[in-house]
Each structure stands twice: as structure tokens, then as C-alpha cells.
Amino acid sequence: MTITVQQIQYTTDPVPWHALAEALGLQRLPGGDDVWTEFAGDGLLAVHRVDRPEDERTEVCFVTDDLDGFETRVRAAGATVRRVETNDIGRILVVEHAGFTCTATSTPSSGASVGGQLRVLPIWYGPDLSLPAAFLDAVPLRRRLVSDSGDWIDATADGGGAVALHRASEVRVELSFEHDGDLDALATALTAAGHTAVVVDEAYNRTLRVRRPDGPDLWVNGRHDDLYGYTRLS
């Protein structure tokens, strides 16, 4: 079974998101329109237009070549799965587990994850990471980096992309990326394209923050090479 992580940004104004995706270095895939457009790097970003601001959100989707096998695995992990049949892209699985909701589809993307320096890295926040971590194991994703405190776990997909878990009081999903390259050069390129971007030194890493079209800053984490307080598993 091959899994690719896709983060979906639902927005009432997709055009600025298209521009930001390309300025970040993602490759626009063919077949997009004003409702649905996909961008590829290491993993996939989809921008989906909605009509109401209250429907704007970020969603994690797993694209797989074996949807039945995926369903069997996540049900065994305790997830609740609802099948939705659509006219345009076939069956979608809506999966709920430990307060988190995600989707899965076997519908081929207009393209595939193409690799590169920018990795899709949606972050799931929640107060207890043990059940979400077991869910990612079941998908299956491969655990990569774990904090000694247990506040951070991330895992990569063999088809591209990754998912991070971060301990927090509320359950939510945040759009984010990881860049395996020169963050200062990326910030310069974003600024040249008309975006507001800055690189900051966090306690754990360097992070680029760029203004989102519709909300708070988008975070692009640098590669995590300082393993003090962390264990790299893969």
C-alpha cells in the first residue's frame, strides 16, 4: 500500500493561495480550475474553493492505491469510517479517531508527489497524542522524529508528505510545511514575489513565517538537525 499525504486548504479566495503555493516552490499540477487545484512537492497541497467563510479550514487527506486496505487498517485501530460516494471523484472515506477527522481517497491526483525541498507537513494538535500516533502507525506512516517530552511526533509517508502531532489543549489542524534547504533564500524569493516573509530562530529550530492570504502566518519549519530533546527514528 502506498500512501501520500495531501493537505487541503478550503478557502473563499483561492487565487492568492495559488500564488503563494507557487512562490513556495510547489509545482502546479494540470487539470486544476477555480474550484480545485493541486500542487506537488514532497506530498500534495490542494486548494478548494468554498462559498462561505465559516467553511474555510485545513483538512488532512491520505491518497492511497488501496482504499479498502486503508479502511481495514484504520478500523482495526479504532477509527470510525464513513463512506461517501461522489459523482466526480468516486468513493471518499471520512475517518474520525480520537477527536480528529481526516479523509482518504484512491482517486488518482492530476499528478503525483514530485519530491523536492518543500514537504507537506500538516500538524494535528490535541491533548493526548497516544491515540493519534497509533492511528498514524496503522495508516501506515513511519515515525521519524519524537520529542523526549512526548509533545511532538511526526511521521512520513512512503508516497510523499508527512503528518506531525503536537500536544495542545484544543483539537485542531494547522497547514504547515517543512523545507529541507536554505530558509533565507526561500524568504528572499517569497518577498520578491510580493509576500511578507521572515525567518525566526525558535528554541528548537529555524522557522520561516509567511503571511497567509486569509489568516495568521503560515509556518515553514527548517530541517530539524538539532536533536537535543528529540530522537530521530528514521
Query: pLDDT tens-digit profile of 16-43?
Result: 999 999 999 999 998 888 899 999 999 9
Q: What is the pLDDT of residue 109?
A: 63
Above 70 in pLDDT, residue 184? yes
pTM of the model: 0.94
- CA dist 116 and 133 (Å) reads 26
The arithmetic mean of pLDDT across residues 81-92, rounded, is 87
**What domains can be seen in the chain, in order of their start residue?**
3-232 (3.10.180.10)
Q: Is pLDDT above 80 for 3? A: yes
Query: What's the rounded mean pLDDT across residues 47-61?
Result: 95
pLDDT class of 7 with cuts at 50, 70, 90: very high
The DSSP code for 93 is E
Q: What average pLDDT does range 11-16 have in this prediction?
A: 96
CB-CB contact of 133 with 154 (8 Å): no
Percent of the chain at pLDDT exceeding 90: 78
| Distance in angstroms between the alpha carbons of the first and the last residue of the chain | 19
Distance CA 73, CA 138 (A): 6
**Span of 37-41, 81-85, 105-109, 131-135 with lowest mean pLDDT:** 105-109
Query: Would you state the pLDDT for residue 228?
Result: 78
Q: Does the pLDDT of residue 190 top 80, yes or no?
A: yes
| pLDDT at 227 exceeding the cut of 90 | no
| Closest of 61, 57, 63, 104 to residue 215, by C-alpha | 57
* Residue 114: pLDDT band with limits 50, 70, 90: confident
Cis peptide preceding 53, ω within 30 of 0? no
Give the pLDDT of residue 203. 65
Model pLDDT, residue 230: 83
What's the pLDDT score for residue 135?
Answer: 94
Task: Give the pLDDT mean for 142-155.
Answer: 94
CA-CA distance, 74 to 93, in Å (whole number)? 11
Judged on CB neighbours under 10 Å (0-12, 13-18, 19+), 14 is buried
Largest interatomic CA distance in the chain: 50
pLDDT of residue 36: 94
